[in-house]
Amino acid sequence: MAYTNRLTDNDTLQEKILAHRPLDSYEVKQLREYYRIGLTWSSNALEGNSLTESETKVVLEDGITVGGKPLKDHYEAVGHSEAFDLLYELAGNPVISEANILELHRLFFYRIDSASAGTYRTRNVIITGTDFTPPSPATLPFAMQEFIATLPELKRLHPVEYAAMLHLRLATIHPFIDGNGRTARLLMNLALMQSGYPVTIIAPIIRGDYIAALQASNKGNNTPFLNFISCCVWESQKDYLRLLGSLDR
């Protein structure tokens, strides 16, 4: 499926969103918990986590495990929720540091593999379904430092493009042994939140389009991915305005 560039639509909806602000504490809390469940479920589901959205809600809000579901899936839900909280702590910062990225990964991953959480991989990895080869472990520290050094220049882009490029570059470096996609989506949302945008969710139902756009970027064409993310932001903006309308009743 071809995705249209929605940056102009993103700007239009963002003006409508900003007209609702500032939000009161009740609205902020309601929206935060809504997106905690939605982003945790969707981002994990994109990677094969078996918990449904309702089951994710039970795990996070009630602390109850779901019978018959792998323990790892529960750890991923709780870990992602903790990383989500860090997004809100960092959203007011003007910059993103290498330490921020490492901490996002650590919070998500430490229950699954404490030794690898928040540290760069020491082994080569194969990305299934593609012929792309990520950088070797020896080059990762420099690649990440180089990536961080480009952020001021990237930030001159439209906020949605900037967020998309952060996702894309981190996913391309693939610095962690596991959890790269989830960390990239957290990083993308951190960039969006720092620019005043709502949390953006990539629906698991369009996973195939998401992977195809990433693969096009691996071959040198970033346009499909940038268009794809602008559409995801647009859908999330519409949902955010719907939620604000419900809260204002």
Q: Among 174, 237, 225, which Cα is nearest to 201's?
A: 237
Hey, what are 81's tokens? 């929720």
φ/ψ of 81, rounded to 5, equals -60, -40
**List 80, 105, 167, 174, catalytic entry:** 174
Q: Kindly report the number of other CB atoms within 10 A of residue 151's CB atom.
A: 17
In whole angstroms, what separates CA 124 from the centre of its chain?
23
Q: Which residues, 6+ apart, have CB-to-CB distance to 143 below 8 Å?
A: 135, 173, 175
105 is known as an active-site residue: no
CA pair distance 117, 175, nearest whole angstrom? 11
Q: Among 240, 233, 241, which Cα is nearest to 3's?
A: 233
Hey, what are 24's tokens? 């009161």
Sign of the dihedral defined by the CA atoms of residues 66, 67, 68, 72, in that order: positive
- Positions annotated as catalytic residues are 174
